[in-house]
Amino acid sequence: MNIDDIKKEFPIFDDKIQNNDLVYLDSANSSQKPRVVVDRIYDFYTKEFSNVGRSVHYLAVAATNLYEQTRVSVQKYINAKDKDEIVFTKGATEAINLVANTFGQKYLSEGDEVLLTELEHHSNYVPWHFLRKAKNIKIEFAEINDDGEVTLEAIEKKITNKTKIISVSHLSNVTGAILPIKEIVELAHTKNIPVLIDGCQGAPHLRLDMQDIDCDFYAISGHKMYGPTGIGVLYAKKKWLEDLPPYQGGGGMINEVKKEGITYGELPNKYEAGTMATAQVIAFNESIKFMEKIGIQNIEKHEKELLDYGLEKLRKNNSVNIIGNPKEKGGVISFTIEGVHPHDIATILDEDGVAIRAGHHCCQILHDKLNLPATARASFGVYNTKDDIDKLDEAINKCKKIFNL
């Protein structure tokens, strides 16, 4: 599959949006969907639908097999040791909540510390905040430096003998900084501290190898990986999934239910209570195959080229201020324009079909630190081209013109 020609695999680009060719620069928020994923959902519902894991009729068995095939695909894609280490969730948010809740229940008590960073998305802060309220634990934040990075040293500085778990982003959705997660895991493990990686922005753009990274937990968002909404993955080492209590109770996650007591099911069923997002899980397999077909190394290379081109272009554009300058950076450019609020930028860009995000991007702690209430953000996916960046640059110029800059 030729990456330069990939746009045509995505039906959203077939038609004009508000009379414009769509320049979609909001993939860090959610990616567009290739035809194979959309078709898979339609085909499953029209020709193959059944619930999974329960009935023994033909459709149920076939659907269960398809559902389990996605688990194996994910396992292989992220090089997990065992398919039972793959738990489907409704998204990365639920994956993090699952860990915070079950790990918190079993291992956290008053005065214990959870170590996050200042660049975390709210979904990797709020679930821990619940524990702060319920159990009186403490939350520490490793600091970002002037380049918008969190270094290994910054993490090390905040580790104490009270630190019980470290939970950090793989790739910042604001500064684009790629954290040294392998080194963080290595350091944490020397002190017997487990590590959760929020991989929302990592999984769609970077090669993943769970056995190499050696993290204890890794949270994945399906809809940012060209997959459907309503599907995420928690990777967790088997020892944790066996050790931690179940998260939600319901059908499918039990072994035996008696009036006197209940025993829970085997992995991975233990963490998949109730009817799961069956069609989405099955269609997610197509997203994985789609990315494999392009090749993650090609995706990384393509997005790096776009990033370098975008940074060069926007740096030349007077009055554009780029947020952060991390050495290792993913395809995210957050910026401000002196004298124009990010929301005004987004509205003006939208008029030309250039879709970006404006706001705090669910990272208020980071924006407080930067002393900015909001930023504008352009983020890339496989379908973006240099032409998209040229259009972004032109639209920014129009914005400056309207504001007489």
Q: How far is the CB of 46 from other proteins (least distance, A)?
A: 34
The residue (of 300 and 350) whose beta carbon lies closer to other proteins is 350
Give the integer Cα–Cα distance in Å for 226 and 32.
6
Adjacent-strand bridge partners of 329: 177
Is residue 17 a contact point for other proteins (CB under 8 A)? no
The residue (of 182 and 369) whose beta carbon lies closer to other proteins is 369
The residue (of 25 and 185) whose beta carbon lies closer to other proteins is 25
Give the integer Cα–Cα distance in Å for 99 and 49.
31
| Nearest residue to 98 (alpha-carbon basis) of 220, 255, 281 | 220
Enzyme catalytic residues: 362
Give the integer Cα–Cα distance in Å for 125 and 229.
22
Q: How far is the CB of 370 from other proteins (least distance, A)?
A: 12
Q: How far is the CB of 129 from other proteins (least distance, A)?
A: 15
Out of 7, 170, 224, 367, the only residue in the binding site for other proteins (CB under 8 A) is 367
Q: How far is the CB of 224 from other proteins (least distance, A)?
A: 20
Out of 134, 257, 262, 402, the only residue in the binding site for other proteins (CB under 8 A) is 402
Is residue 351 a contact point for other proteins (CB under 8 A)? yes
Is residue 392 a contact point for other proteins (CB under 8 A)? no
Classify residue 250 as left (phi > 0), alpha (psi -120 to 50) or beta. left
Q: What secondary structure does DSSP assign to 182-248, as a single string?
A: HHHHHHHHHTT--EEEE-TTTTTTS---HHHH--SEEEEESTTTT--TT-EEEEE-HHHHHHSPPSS
Task: Kindly indicate which of the ranges 57-65, 88-96, 211-219, 356-364 contains the residues binding other proteins, using the contact rule CB under 8 A.
Answer: 356-364
DSSP 264: E
Mark 301-340 with x for binding to other proteins (rule: CB under 8 A) and - for no binding: --------------------------------------xx
Give the integer Cα–Cα distance in Å for 308 and 264.
50
Task: Kindly indicate which of the ranges 7-15, 34-42, 211-219, 359-367 contains the residues binding other proteins, using the contact rule CB under 8 A.
Answer: 359-367
Task: Compute CA 176 distance to the chain's CA centroid, rounded to the nearest angstrom.
Answer: 13
Out of 17, 296, 359, 369, the only residue in the binding site for other proteins (CB under 8 A) is 359
Is residue 229 a contact point for other proteins (CB under 8 A)? no
DSSP 46: I
Task: Kindly indicate which of the ranges 39-47, 170-178, 231-239, 397-405 contains the residues binding other proteins, using the contact rule CB under 8 A.
Answer: 397-405
Q: How far is the CB of 326 from other proteins (least distance, A)?
A: 23
Out of 341, 369, 390, 393, the only residue in the binding site for other proteins (CB under 8 A) is 341
Task: Kindly indicate which of the ranges 242-250, 256-264, 327-335, 367-375 contains the residues binding other proteins, using the contact rule CB under 8 A.
Answer: 367-375
Q: What secondary structure does DSSP assign to 84-140, as a single string?
A: GGEEEESSHHHHHHHHHHHHHHHH--TT-EEEEETT--GGGTHHHHHHHHHH--EEE
Is residue 281 a contact point for other proteins (CB under 8 A)? no
One-letter amino acid of 260: E
Element (H, E) at 141: strand 138-142
The residue (of 184 and 340) whose beta carbon lies closer to other proteins is 340
Task: Compute CA 9 distance to the chain's CA centroid, rounded to the nearest angstrom.
Answer: 22
Q: How far is the CB of 354 from other proteins (least distance, A)?
A: 13
Q: Is the separation of the CB atoms in 25 and 388 below 8 Å?
A: yes
How many residues sit close enough to other proteins to count as binding (CB under 8 A)?
Answer: 20
Q: Is the separation of the CB atoms in 221 and 200 below 8 Å?
A: yes
Q: How far is the CB of 359 from other proteins (least distance, A)?
A: 4
User: Is residue 397 classed as helix, strand or coil in its secondary structure?
Assistant: helix
Is residue 343 a contact point for other proteins (CB under 8 A)? yes
Out of 214, 344, 390, 393, the only residue in the binding site for other proteins (CB under 8 A) is 344
Is residue 374 a contact point for other proteins (CB under 8 A)? yes
Give the integer Cα–Cα distance in Å for 374 and 363.
10
Q: Which chain residues interact with other proteins by CB under 8 A?
A: 18, 339-344, 347-348, 351, 358-360, 364, 367, 373-374, 402-404
